Amino acid sequence: MTENLPQSVSKKYQAFADLPRPDRESLRPFSEVGVSDVMEGLGLETLLGSEIRPVWHGAQIIGPALTVLNTRGDTLMMHYALELSKAGDVLVITCEEENPSATWGKMVTVAAMGRGIAGAIIDGSVRDSAHIREVKFPVWTRSYSPRGSQRKGPGSINVPVTCGGVLIHPGDLIMADDDGIVVFPQQKMEAALAAAKARVQREENMMSKLEQGITPYTLLGMEEAVKKAGLTAKPGEYRDQD
């Protein structure tokens, strides 16, 4: 739906009330794996840019993306999206150009927690970061700014957006932790979980030997790769070549 916008604006900006949401119970098994496990099974193209980092460390989230596109210096669509949100959603908030103003802060953090939102991914700036850390609401952000925003719009909600260099569709699953953020369509949920669990199991199978000091070099058979790289270690210490 697009509400009360001039025709010339409504062609560019759109707002939709709904997005495809998975059964929340089906997401619980992802708590047993990490972003690095999922990414290795899905590929690098699913990984958002590493410049978007957690405001505080230790959080892990997964949920469907409720996408938001703000205009420069404006947060009306972010506020409207929060109004449309449901428990378990991950707000993915972007701007159509570089934005000097914060697009997330204390008030929306409190409201998001009250609504049961899983977390927020901000391809832009956050403020009131001390409060966000104190209450431990999961937020990932590109930068920080104390500057406020106007609330005039327009913008878009629940349309495809680019966040962290990756195209994200409404309802795509967002998984984030201290290592980074991955995105993948709901149709790949089972495959992503299976690949992640397989990686976890492979590493678990090696743990007892690693604890004995046997290195991944030996366990994973890297000797041949080193030979092909032409880097066989020479005996003795390094000495300047005069």
Per-residue confidence at 11, pLDDT binned at 50, 70, 90?
A: low
The maximal CA–CA distance of the chain, rounded, in angstroms, is 78
Q: What is the mean pLDDT of residues 218-241?
A: 87
- Determine, yes or no, domain membership for 131: yes
Tokens of residue 23, six digits: 């059964």
For residue 27, being part of any structural domain is answered with yes
* Domain encompassing residue 167: 7-195
Mean pLDDT, rounded, for 144-164: 93
Q: What's the confidence (pLDDT) of residue 10?
A: 52
Q: Tell me: the pLDDT tens digits for 22-61?
A: 999 999 999 999 999 999 878 778 899 999 999 999 999 9
The whole-number pLDDT of residue 3 equals: 44
- Burial of 178 from C-beta contacts in 10 A (0-12 / 13-18 / 19+): middle
Q: With respect to residue 26, please indicate whether it lies within any of the assigned structural domains.
A: yes
d(CA 60, CA 178): 8
Q: Are 136 and 57 in contact (CB under 8 A)?
A: no
pTM: 0.89
> Is there a domain that residue 225 lies in?
no
Is 235 domain-assigned?
Answer: no
Reading the block at residue 176, the tokens are 């984030």
Q: Is 129 helix (H, G, I), strand (E, B) or coil?
A: helix
In a domain, residue 203? The reply is no
Mean pLDDT, residues 10-22 taken together:
89
Q: What's the rounded mean pLDDT across residues 208-222?
A: 94
Residue 124 within a domain:
yes
DSSP β-ladder status, 90-95 and 61-70: parallel
Output the pLDDT for position 1: 39
pLDDT at 6 over 60: no
pLDDT at residue 242 in the model: 61
Task: Report helix, strand or coil for 95.
Answer: strand
Write the CATH number for 113. 3.50.30.40
Give how many domains the chain has, as a whole number: 1
Asked whether residue 119 is domain-assigned, the answer is yes
Tell me the per-residue pLDDT of 87-133, one tens digit each, with 9 for 90 and over: 999 999 999 888 889 999 999 999 999 999 999 999 999 999 999 99
Contact 92, 100 (CB under 8 A): no
Taking 90 as the threshold, does the pLDDT of residue 142 lie above it?
yes
Q: Which residues pair with 141 in a beta bridge?
A: 53, 122
pLDDT in tens, 58-75: 999 999 999 999 999 999
pLDDT value at 2 more than 50? no
